[in-house]
Amino acid sequence: MGIGMAILAIAPPGEHEVLVFLVQLSILLGLARFAGSLARRIGQPAVVGELAAGIAAGPSLFGRVAPQAFEWVFAPGEDASMIFALAWLGLLLLLAVTGIESDLDVVRQLGRPAAVVTTGSLIVPLAGGLLLGFAMPNELVGPTTSTGLFAVFLAVALSISSLPVVARVLSELGMVRRDVGQLILAVAVANDVIGWLLLGLVVGVAGSGGAPTPGAVAITIVAVAAFFAAALTLGSAATEWGLRQTAGRGIEAQVGLMVGTVALAGAVTQAIGVEAVLGAFVAGLVIGRSRWRDERAISVLETVTNALLAPLFFATAGLRVDVAVFAEPTVAVWSLIIIAVATATKLLGAGVGARLAGLPGPEARALGVGLNARGALEIVIASIGLSLGILTDASYAAIVIMALTTSIVAPPLLRRALRDWPGTESEQRRLSAEEAARRQVILSDRPPLLLTRGRPGSISAAQFIHCCWPPHQPVVVATSVDRSRLAPILNTFADRSVKVLEHEGDLARLVSETRRGYGAIVLGVNETVDEPVLGTLHREVLATTDTPVVIVRRERISGRPLPAPFAHALVPITAQHTSRAALELACGLAVALGARLTLAHIVTEPNLDPFRSPGGLTTTGPIADPTLRTAADTARVLGAREVATIARTAANAATELAGLALELDVDIIVAGTTVQGDRFGPTATFLLDHAPMSVAVVATPAGWTRPPTSRRH
């Protein structure tokens, strides 16, 4: 009875509150979207327009033009609680999306420069803000605080760089994947982590009314460190497990899991007094590291955040700004001083740190400019200061205007700083490799799954995986037999990370494992001519999975050593994405083994006279040449060194390819095809059934284009 009454005591909003909320949502979202679009048209980040929309909807404009309407729509109290709760959800998801997009591997590679720049970009603004805080007049100091606490708060406010704004500016300028963009993000993360820690101490002092004790400081530091450690270990493992369980079950399941993870992490950091936004960002980092995240789910999360929730947050932040306070000369002058000190100290600190780290001049200037953008988090900090009585309405408005100004000047100055800077040679090579990886259609950051019942054909399939997939990529092996029978198969993977899933005697569970969202399903087949090539397991998988299936058969030519050499591969090329998938795997052989590639384009002419061209007719026609040229260029970008091309016309593509393979003495044919029910196309079927050398058939489901791989890779 007591629990039931407690639940019933949670009163739902009344009809008036719902009406006001819907009106608030319509006004703020409509203005924010319009102003954000307008800002982008003039070369500014959308956040500038969204903040300006909130200021216009607040007491600065709406409140003066229609004061009674403004009072009805934005009256303080419970009527505003729902819109601000929704806005805060937008902030949390914005930080989470930013964390998902942050590449810790690149950040780790930039470790020393990031550390040096972080030090400079924090110490100089902290010192400048502290001196400025003590110099400001008493009318700008909150009524319930001391000058010292106000100065410390201002120093922290000036030291932070707004990660969401920085990320959005870099994204809209196309600089996220540049070295300087990653370095800016890395330093902004460090600024925010340290800044939020310091802010937590200031908030604790303001709430207690006393001075911080060493014990309280130590407890806060330990709590934050413990949260980071737990999030990146236990939290990462739990998120990886959850995303794997929801993979292949629709994007709704993953979206729900991601939002729940962000909310939980935010609740933890809020509970330890370090603000929920830090937890949301760390949750994004954890989600972004998972191989089982579905980019379609992340895309939905980004769309909802960027189209609805983030603009709403930025607009609500502007509601509390009244530009009338700047009519007071003291406020106007000190606001300009705050903007000048904030800009100068961040430019100086980051710029000097960058030069000490040995970075080129353009990157040093870009770091100072990029880190100078404050935006959303600065407004959050100002809101906290106002609610705690550390700031007055005037000093709150001054900090918001500073955040808006620094966000406005960042994009044009960043463009100017990097206008003629293409980056270092190593950066250009990295960007080229990433672009090639981004366009891959089968090699994703999700692991391949090897299905096996312990038969010898699985050894060749394992060998093919080990050669084609990058060395850092783990492999999952699912089997219906006891693990003890898998030693020859598992030994093929050498020191590669391998996870074994045992479904002993359960063919149905073995097949169901293929729907977990793996990068590809790989199976070996029977190698003797007196047995059907495809068995029950193969046909079950082909008929049910929506993931590419790779069927590998070892050569039938006697006298070859095991494992097969794979020194020369023949790849049939067409204009379809299926041959692109096969080409990627063949390039994996080229990179791992130094294999030579021959790319063959066969143009079929059913009425071709076989006596006129018994071995096929070499052609340089308009159909074959562009296709081969594009494929050869792709192969070289993907790392293949020896690439030959050949184009022929023939009455039958399958027999022509088989004959060409014998003529060239290739070791393996890697052919792409589409899944057709529980089998695949006739050319691939003929090669798998009759070609004497090793054959790998890459079968992609109908309508399939590419796996949900990360845009960062």
Last residue of a domain, one of 533, 554, 575: 554
Region 109-117: mean pLDDT is 80
Residue 643 has pLDDT above 60, yes or no: yes
Could you tell me which of 429, 417, 400 has the C-alpha nearest to residue 365?
417
Question: Residue 20 to residues 14, 57, 106, 410, 584: CA-CA distances in angstroms?
Answer: 10, 15, 46, 36, 56
224: confidence class by pLDDT, cuts 50, 70, 90: confident
Flag whether 268 is in a domain: yes
Count the alpha carbons within 13 Å of 325 in the hemisphere toward its beta carbon: 20
| 559 and 545 part of one domain | no
Cβ contact 350:159 at 8 Å: no
Residue 1 lies in a domain: no
Does residue 614 sit in the same domain as residue 639?
A: yes
Q: Could you read off the pLDDT of 364-415 as tens digits, one per residue? A: 888 888 888 876 667 778 877 887 788 888 888 888 888 888 877 877 787 7
pLDDT (0 to 100) of residue 456: 81
| Same domain, residue pair 293 and 346 | yes
161-170, 209-218, 264-273, 533-542, range with the lowest pLDDT: 209-218
With a cut of 80, say whether residue 418 has pLDDT above it.
no
Q: Are residues 409 and 318 in the same domain?
A: yes
Share of the chain above pLDDT 90, in %: 12
Residue 9 forms part of a structural domain: no
Residue 20 structure tokens: 């006001």
474 and 415 housed in the same domain: no
Higher-pLDDT residue of 679, 273 = 679
Q: What is the mean pLDDT of residues 291-314?
A: 84
Output phi, psi for 447, to 5 deg: -70, 150
Other residues' Cβ atoms within 10 Å of the Cβ of residue 137: 10
Tokens for 500?
Answer: 């074994």
User: What is the number of residues in the chain?
Assistant: 713
| The pLDDT value given to residue 616 | 44
Looking at per-residue pLDDT, the higher value among 320 and 334 belongs to: 334
The domain spanning residue 493 has which CATH number?
A: 3.40.50.620
Domain assignment present for 4: no
Average pLDDT, the chain: 80
Provide the whole-model pTM. Answer: 0.65
378 and 230 in a single domain? The answer is: yes
What is the reported pLDDT for 614?
44
Higher pLDDT, 541 or 598: 598
Task: Let me know whether 375 and 414 are in one domain.
Answer: yes
Q: What is the structure's pLDDT at 327? A: 83
Round to whole Å and give the CA distance between 410 and 704.
41
Is 565 found in the same domain as 545? Answer: no
- For the chain, the domain total comes to 3
Is pLDDT above 90 for 454? no
Residue 711 domain-assigned (yes or no)? no
- Most confidently predicted of 130-139, 360-369, 550-559: 130-139
Place of tokens 């400081």: 217
At 570-595, the pLDDT tens digits run 999 987 777 888 898 999 889 888 88
What's the rounded mean pLDDT across residues 598-623?
Answer: 60
Rounded Cα distance, 13 and 544, in Å: 48
pLDDT tens per residue across span 142-176: 887 888 888 888 998 888 877 666 766 676 666 76
Query: Please, is 6 exposed, middle or buried when counting C-beta atoms within 10 Å of its C-beta (0-12, 13-18, 19+)?
Result: exposed
Whether the predicted pLDDT of 597 surpasses 90: yes
**Helix (H), strand (E) counts: the chain:** 30, 12
Tell me the pLDDT tens digit for each residue of 467-520: 888 888 889 998 888 888 888 888 888 788 888 888 776 677 778 888 777 888
pLDDT (tens digit per residue) in 704-713: 655 444 444 3
The domain boundary residue, chosen from 523, 554, 585: 554
The answer to the question of residue 664 being in a domain is yes
Domain boundary among the residues 554, 571, 598 is at: 554
Please tell me whether residues 635 and 563 are part of one structural domain: yes
- The answer to whether residue 139 scores a pLDDT higher than 60 is yes
Beta-bridged to residue 572, according to DSSP, are: 600
Confidence label for 636 from pLDDT (cuts 50, 70 and 90): confident
Of 35-39, 91-95, 273-277, 295-299, the least confident: 273-277
| Range of weakest confidence among 39-43, 297-301, 441-445 | 441-445
- Per-residue pLDDT at 623: 47
Looking up residue 157, the CATH number of its domain turns out to be 1.20.1530.20
Range name among 212-221, 581-590, 697-706 with the lowest pLDDT average:
212-221
Confidence at residue 184, expressed as pLDDT on a 0 to 100 scale: 81
| Choice among 229-238, 426-435, 634-643 with the minimum mean pLDDT | 426-435
Residue-range definition of the domain harbouring residue 473? 439-554
Is residue 108 in some structural domain?
yes
Residues 599 and 629 in one domain: yes
Evaluate whether residue 708 is within a structural domain: no
Cα–Cα dist 409/414, whole Å? 9
Same domain, 150 and 250: yes
